[in-house]
Chain A
Amino acid sequence: MGYDGGTAFQYLPGYIYPTVDAANGNVTVGTIWDGRLINGAVTRGLVNEDLTWYTSITKNIGVDFNILRNKLEGSIDFFRRDQNGLVAKRLGQIPGTAGISFPDENLNSDRSQGWEINLLHRDRISKFAYSVGGNFSYARMMNRTVVQAPFGNAYDQWRNGQTDRYKNIWWGVDYAGQFTSYDQIYKYEVNSGGGNNNVVPGDYYFEDWNEDGVINGDDYHPIAVYDLPLINFGFNISASYKGIDLNILFAGAAGAYTQYAEQYAEPLMYGRSALTKFLDSWHTVNPDDNVFDPNTQWVQGKYPAMGYNYGNINNSTKAVLDASYVRLKTVELGYTFSPDLLRKVGVKSFRMYVNSYNLLTFTKLEGVDPEHPGQIPTGDFQYGLGGYKYPLNRTFNLGASITF
């Protein structure tokens, strides 16, 4: 398979005429001779006459089975999609004096791969019929070739290299704890910024991952992944006994992470109010105590004292939360009256049921919906979990279906 990519007609050399200067307010390119505008022709520069579609090779190995006389059926599937010839520009190594820059070329490649299992067990014990099924999938994308500028050093390469690396790695620092006393702050040998001069009890501190005595960007290392979950799973039970039927569907995800944003991440954001959860903050016994006075007495709390810069914990294991969840998506209990009974009152069929969607959720997240928890680290709403969304409703239904 192949796909189109790159600028239109990028492979054709020549001149654009007439044209506009996109960098300068789309002004017509030209000059004034004898009071008349002479439209200008602008060269396309170096073009790549070999630019082509990019290719996509999808491989799939799977087994479908049905054993134990239809009691167990399922499938196992491994898949891989390799995209080659993704359009990119070579990086600026042509000296500017040549007056040309690299055209689009088919340079980059990436890969998506993963696997999927489906299992379904079905059986009947006298009048009790049931089925139990589950599915489980894992998928991950990686870059294979990415044109990048030469790295200045090994750290730079490790930190910023993309080639043969998974996509969507969330870099950050490890949370280590909360200061509980001035004494602890004095003896703390790692500089969390500003020589710890503004640190007060209740503030968070982090692991000095590279052991250089300072907490900064150099301590960043992979702590999570962002965008869509790596693992999705579902679990389905259905059973029936005489007229009673029951249907339960669980769904969930793992390998997903999120970070609270704005009012949920910190109190008094944008100079506005705060959520009540922040009432459980460290604070001095008297509101007007000097927070930097070592004799000041503190009342412990869950959150740091007001005024703490919550920006410090962005991209740390304190702020980046495991967004895994299991959710009872559907549960439905029904009863179907026997047709013999109904015939006497002139009804063909009659089923009563009660159900609920989104009844239960098991997750470590508080206050946000794990299916779209909101913030992702780049603030880019294009990622699967990004953006502001209403949480899913929980609904209950009581109903009957009657056919005359």
Chain B
Amino acid sequence: MKKLSKLFIAVIMGVLAFFTSCQKLDIKPVNQLSDDQIFGNESGINAYLANVYRNLPIEDFRYGPATADGLEPSETGFNPKHSWKHFYHSGAATGEMVGPWGGLSIGGGFGYWPYVDIRAVNYFLETLPNYSANYTGNRVDELLGEAHFLRAFYYFGLAKRYGGIPIVKTVQNYPQQSIEELSVPRNTEEDVWNFIGDELDQAYNMMPETKVSGRANRFTALALKSRAMLYAGTIAKYGSLNFVEGDAHAQGFVGISADKAEGFFAKSIDASKKLEGKFSLYEASADLEQNYVDLFLDGNNKNNPEIIFVKGYNPVLDVQSPHSWDATFSPRYFTGGGDPRSYPTLDFVERFGVLDVTNADGTPRRYNNLSEVGQGREARLKATVFFPGDVFKGRAFDDPSNTGVFDIRRGIYPSFTGKAVDEAYLTAPVSPSDPGTARPMDQRIGNNGQHLQLADDINSKYEGRTIIGVTGIRTGADNMTRTGFYVRKYINYKTPQKQVDLFTSSTPWIEFRYAETLLNRAEADIETGQLDDALVCLRQIRRRAGATEPTLADMTVEFVRNERSKELAFENHYWWDIKRWRVADSWLNNAHFRGLMPYYVLSEAKYIFIKERETFDRNYNFEKKFYYEPIPQGEINKNSNLAPQNPGY
């Protein structure tokens, strides 16, 4: 019996060993997909494209334009998920706002070099046709068109930074190709912009009209073309007048000859016009101010007629996917966490018209209350920035006694006499580039020898009154306004206060909206003398904005640029606009920006507003070489054919 059982066990063991040896030990990991799984069906394609879309150079809320002034490399560039420091905004380095940038710290960029993503698109273009049997109709062409759009978007992100860069249209491999073969040279800037235009034409011709929020369709290709060709046109026109000499310029790697401008403008206009009738401005409410506020909060609405392309955020699944715009552009008094550090400048606000806060004799006008200063301003301006005295309407505050008033003061004058400009300046400012000499706070003269009351603490009081107000201008910290204004665009008033914190905002970013296309068209029109068509566009823009009707005589380059700066404020356009207009070196030449500082005059029980240097007292200077960023030196080290470096670096 004992022997039998031993035999039995031996047989069982042998059988087991036989079967297990048939099992392959070589088991593939389950979280890996093959080409067949990716390209063989629509959901594989979606997964593949999801990563390509994720990395698109969309300068959204989270975009970090440069590594400087406390912004780490990991918080720089596109899609820096971990970043909440949205106040490192490109507008805050250029005078739209002032903020944490020490000046113009974003000139050198962050070494954007997205060829990994471009390779992913090229691989898609080469591989998908092998699986065409899996798809019906012209689906493969539609997807290929989408890839052309994506590739154009990446090249657009490169071209506007570096000018000419290598155009890589095929999948490169190593070691099948030698390092020498892979060391591709730069294409000329003109070639790159033409390539972008051609890619977008292909995309437009092949893509469907299908509306999927966050996914491009043929109209998205048009919107990008409208923008890109306008960039190319202005670079050709103004870059040939204002440039830095160097080998890269002489060889056409940066700069386009002026005679090409016309052609690019025409392409831009053509693309913009094709969008006419397909989209229109958002005019959901008769209250123009509310309408303009809601436009930016209505990004998830597929029926929002203005939206051409949005980038969405995931509010639930992943704590870091949402952005932090609401928490980092409003004072803590109105939020549940976070702090702001960037504030719109008076210079930006006065693009909408000079604020008449001074009497004819130069003395500050007296106001009975704060909110009077913002009354009667253009609806679009009031929807873009919060003025002193404005009310944060709609938000449910934790503290029921919170009235939501932007109670902003810089200080209290026991009494005040004299002229506003003398109070703020030793020598008066003429323009941002001729900013005068600010008068230090301890040399103020209007206070009649009495102490001008300033404070760092919102609870500090003078004669029973808080000195700076709950959202006012601190003498020390920069987490309350330094200009008298706060950003309103994209601030979601519907979110209850306790839910407003870092990583809680999921308002979509509107990358392309019809208003931009109209402005692109108007600008290209004016550059090419088509003033009637420009007027058609700007009329729509200004009517919706609550601004006065423009006339044909208004159709100047200056006018359309100003209109663009107002309409697209804080949307990360301004930096690129002042670059492609080649005006940055004169506009940001020893530039200082101003704020509108409210003071309470105790003896009169009135408010006065003085236009003063913003309290960071930043100095902005733009070096001409910044019109192009330097090709990343590490890439030149790997590929000497990328030389010459852009001029000035």
Partner of B179, one of A15, A17, A27, A94: A94
Hey, which chain A residues are within 8 Å of B35, CB to CB? Answer: 14
Closest to B310 in A: A32
Closest to A44 in B: B32
Hey, which chain B residues are within 8 Å of A18, CB to CB? Answer: 31, 47
**B547 near A: Cβ within 8 Å?**
no
The answer to whether A99 touches B119, judged by C-beta atoms less than 8 angstroms apart, is yes
The answer to whether B118 touches A32, judged by C-beta atoms less than 8 angstroms apart, is no
Interface string of B271-307 (1 = CB under 8 A from A): 0000000000000000000000000000010100000
The answer to whether B50 touches A31, judged by C-beta atoms less than 8 angstroms apart, is yes
Partner of B32, one of A17, A46, A93, A95: A17
The answer to whether B638 touches A92, judged by C-beta atoms less than 8 angstroms apart, is yes
The answer to whether B81 touches A100, judged by C-beta atoms less than 8 angstroms apart, is no
A34-42, A113-121, A321-329 - interface stretch? A34-42
Partner of B172, one of A44, A45, A97, A102: A97
The answer to whether B119 touches A40, judged by C-beta atoms less than 8 angstroms apart, is no
In the complex with contacts A27-B321, A32-B214, A100-B74 CB distance below 8 A: no
Hey, which chain A residues are within 8 Å of B212, CB to CB? Answer: 33-34
Interface string of B312-332 (1 = CB under 8 A from A): 111001101100000000000
In the complex with contacts A40-B50, A94-B174, A15-B33 CB distance below 8 A: yes
**A307 near B: Cβ within 8 Å?**
no
The answer to whether B214 touches A41, judged by C-beta atoms less than 8 angstroms apart, is no
Task: Report the separation of the CA atoms of residues A13 and B38 in the bound assembly, to the nearest whole angstrom.
Answer: 13
A326 to chain B, nearest CB (A): 52
Segment 185-214 of A: residues with Cβ below 8 Å from B: none
The answer to whether A42 touches B32, judged by C-beta atoms less than 8 angstroms apart, is no
Hey, which chain A residues are within 8 Å of B47, CB to CB? Answer: 15, 17-18, 38-41
**A164 near B: Cβ within 8 Å?**
no
The answer to whether A15 touches B38, judged by C-beta atoms less than 8 angstroms apart, is yes
The answer to whether B120 touches A99, judged by C-beta atoms less than 8 angstroms apart, is yes
**A262 near B: Cβ within 8 Å?**
no
**A217 near B: Cβ within 8 Å?**
no
Hey, which chain B residues are within 8 Å of A31, CB to CB? Answer: 49-51, 53-54, 214, 312
Interface string of B69-94 (1 = CB under 8 A from A): 00000100001111000000000000
The answer to whether A19 touches B318, judged by C-beta atoms less than 8 angstroms apart, is no
Interface string of B153-188 (1 = CB under 8 A from A): 000000000000010100011100101001110000
Hey, which chain A residues are within 8 Å of B638, CB to CB? Answer: 92-96
Interface string of B29-48 (1 = CB under 8 A from A): 10111110110000010111
In the complex with contacts A29-B54, A38-B50, A39-B47, A97-B74 CB distance below 8 A: no
Task: Report the separation of the CA atoms of residues A298 and B35 in the bound assembly, to the nearest whole angstrom.
Answer: 80
**B28 near A: Cβ within 8 Å?**
yes
Hey, which chain A residues are within 8 Å of B113, CB to CB? Answer: 96
The answer to whether A98 touches B119, judged by C-beta atoms less than 8 angstroms apart, is yes
Task: Report the separation of the CA atoms of residues A96 and B183 in the bound assembly, to the nearest whole angstrom.
Answer: 9
In the complex with contacts A32-B214, A32-B314, A41-B33, A95-B639 CB distance below 8 A: yes
The answer to whether B31 touches A32, judged by C-beta atoms less than 8 angstroms apart, is no
Interface size of A as a range: 35 or more
Partner of A9, one of B29, B37, B50: B29
Partner of A97, one of B33, B50, B166, B312: B166
Segment 81-109 of A: residues with Cβ below 8 Å from B: 92-100, 102
Closest to A93 in B: B179
**A16 near B: Cβ within 8 Å?**
yes
The answer to whether B81 touches A12, judged by C-beta atoms less than 8 angstroms apart, is no
**B213 near A: Cβ within 8 Å?**
yes
The answer to whether A96 touches B115, judged by C-beta atoms less than 8 angstroms apart, is yes
**A378 near B: Cβ within 8 Å?**
no
Task: Report the separation of the CA atoms of residues A17 and B317 in the bound assembly, to the nearest whole angstrom.
Answer: 17
Interface size of B as a range: 35 or more
The answer to whether A37 touches B317, judged by C-beta atoms less than 8 angstroms apart, is yes
Partner of B182, one of A9, A33, A44, A94: A94
Task: Report the separation of the CA atoms of residues A32 and B53 in the bound assembly, to the nearest whole angstrom.
Answer: 9
Partner of B183, one of A15, A23, A34, A95: A95
For the residues of A in contact with B, the DSSP-based class is loop
Hey, which chain B residues are within 8 Å of A92, CB to CB? Answer: 634, 638
The answer to whether B172 touches A38, judged by C-beta atoms less than 8 angstroms apart, is no
Partner of A40, one of B51, B168, B302, B314: B51
Task: Report the separation of the CA atoms of residues A118 and B172 in the bound assembly, to the nearest whole angstrom.
Answer: 60
The answer to whether B182 touches A16, judged by C-beta atoms less than 8 angstroms apart, is no
**B260 near A: Cβ within 8 Å?**
no
The answer to whether B32 touches A14, judged by C-beta atoms less than 8 angstroms apart, is yes
Interface string of A25-61 (1 = CB under 8 A from B): 1011111111101111111111000000000000000
Hey, which chain A residues are within 8 Å of B183, CB to CB? Answer: 95
The answer to whether B168 touches A97, judged by C-beta atoms less than 8 angstroms apart, is yes
Closest to B311 in A: A32
The answer to whether A14 touches B120, judged by C-beta atoms less than 8 angstroms apart, is no
A72 to chain B, nearest CB (A): 53
Hey, which chain A residues are within 8 Å of B82, CB to CB? Answer: 24-25, 27
The answer to whether B44 touches A41, judged by C-beta atoms less than 8 angstroms apart, is yes
**A4 near B: Cβ within 8 Å?**
no
The answer to whether B80 touches A24, judged by C-beta atoms less than 8 angstroms apart, is yes
Segment 308-357 of A: residues with Cβ below 8 Å from B: none
Hey, which chain B residues are within 8 Å of A27, CB to CB? Answer: 81-82, 318, 320-321
Hey, which chain A residues are within 8 Å of B624, CB to CB? Answer: none
In the complex with contacts A12-B32, A33-B312, A97-B174 CB distance below 8 A: no
Task: Report the separation of the CA atoms of residues A313 and B40 in the bound assembly, to the nearest whole angstrom.
Answer: 66
The answer to whether B214 touches A99, judged by C-beta atoms less than 8 angstroms apart, is no
Task: Report the separation of the CA atoms of residues A19 and B54 in the bound assembly, to the nearest whole angstrom.
Answer: 13
Closest to A103 in B: B174
A36 to chain B, nearest CB (A): 9
The answer to whether A98 touches B54, judged by C-beta atoms less than 8 angstroms apart, is no
The answer to whether A15 touches B48, judged by C-beta atoms less than 8 angstroms apart, is yes
**A289 near B: Cβ within 8 Å?**
no
The answer to whether A43 touches B320, judged by C-beta atoms less than 8 angstroms apart, is no
Task: Report the separation of the CA atoms of residues A28 and B81 in the bound assembly, to the nearest whole angstrom.
Answer: 10
Task: Report the separation of the CA atoms of residues A45 and B213 in the bound assembly, to the nearest whole angstrom.
Answer: 29
B424 to chain A, nearest CB (A): 44
B392 to chain A, nearest CB (A): 27
Hey, which chain A residues are within 8 Å of B177, CB to CB? Answer: 98
The answer to whether B174 touches A41, judged by C-beta atoms less than 8 angstroms apart, is no
Hey, which chain A residues are within 8 Å of B508, CB to CB? Answer: 32
Interface string of B200-229 (1 = CB under 8 A from A): 000000000000111100000000000000
Partner of B115, one of A17, A40, A97: A97
Task: Report the separation of the CA atoms of residues A34 and B635 in the bound assembly, to the nearest whole angstrom.
Answer: 37
**A77 near B: Cβ within 8 Å?**
no
B337 to chain A, nearest CB (A): 18
Closest to B111 in A: A96
B1 to chain A, nearest CB (A): 46
The answer to whether A28 touches B318, judged by C-beta atoms less than 8 angstroms apart, is yes
The answer to whether B46 touches A43, judged by C-beta atoms less than 8 angstroms apart, is no
Task: Report the separation of the CA atoms of residues A102 and B320 in the bound assembly, to the nearest whole angstrom.
Answer: 31
**B116 near A: Cβ within 8 Å?**
yes
Task: Report the separation of the CA atoms of residues A39 and B53 in the bound assembly, to the nearest whole angstrom.
Answer: 11
Segment 6-63 of B: residues with Cβ below 8 Å from A: 28-29, 31-35, 37-38, 44, 46-51, 53-54
**A380 near B: Cβ within 8 Å?**
no
Hey, which chain B residues are within 8 Å of A96, CB to CB? Answer: 113, 115, 632, 634-635, 638-639
Hey, which chain B residues are within 8 Å of A17, CB to CB? Answer: 31-33, 47
Task: Report the separation of the CA atoms of residues A13 and B29 in the bound assembly, to the nearest whole angstrom.
Answer: 11
**A21 near B: Cβ within 8 Å?**
yes
Can you report 26 residue pairs joining A to B where beta carbons are below 8 Å apart? Answer: A9-B29, A12-B32, A16-B31, A16-B33, A19-B31, A24-B79, A27-B81, A30-B314, A32-B214, A32-B312, A33-B214, A34-B212, A38-B47, A41-B33, A41-B47, A42-B51, A94-B174, A94-B179, A95-B184, A96-B638, A97-B115, A98-B173, A99-B118, A99-B172, A100-B119, A100-B174
4 more A-B contacts (CB under 8 A) besides A17-B33, A24-B80? A15-B48, A25-B82, A32-B214, A96-B638
Taking beta carbons and an 8 Å cutoff, which residues of A are in contact with B? Answer: 8-9, 12-19, 21, 23-25, 27-35, 37-46, 92-100, 102
Q: Which 6 A-B pairs have the closest CB atoms?
A: A99-B119, A32-B312, A40-B51, A95-B639, A40-B50, A24-B81
